[in-house]
Amino acid sequence: MFKIKEFEKIYTLLNLNEKKRAQEILISLRTRLALHPDYLFLMSLYLKEDKRYYLSIDSSLLSIKIDNDFEFLKKRNFTKSSDELVKQRYLLLIDLFKEINIPELLQLTNFTLESNDHLKFIKHINQIMPGIRLKLK
């Protein structure tokens, strides 16, 4: 699912509820990969497990935005995430929006997961949450 070996390890640790070890690896990768879309997804998973839901949402949304900004990915020498990881991001957002009871965003996220219209999702998020923004061309 992940193209970077360390990311796979973090994902496994989070699934095993070994948050402390996962956090250590996330910290060690931060300087090089903090804006990598898969890193942000893993950070979002970590934050969700730590019950910091709003920060988790921010990380997930930024992960989606970066993964759809091809110029940014190219500039940083990052590759686009696998389709499975993209799906996992939306499923995570669905869980988070259920947890904090935001039906409008839950519905939008479900629709985006089904329609695969990521740019429409990003445009809507930029309108309602202007604090999390990357320039998309």
| Whole-number pLDDT of residue 137 | 43
pTM: 0.90
Query: Using CA of residue 37, residue 101, residue 132, residue 57, what is the dihedral sign?
Result: negative
- Count of alpha carbons within 13 Å of 103, Cβ hemisphere only? 0
Along the 137 residues of the chain, how does pLDDT read in single tens digits? Answer: 899 999 999 999 999 999 999 999 999 999 999 999 999 999 999 999 999 999 999 999 999 999 999 999 999 999 999 999 999 999 999 999 999 999 999 999 999 999 989 989 998 888 887 665 555 44
| Whole-number pLDDT of residue 128 | 82
Token output for 29: 């990768």
- Count of alpha carbons within 13 Å of 31, Cβ hemisphere only? 1
| Whole-number pLDDT of residue 124 | 87
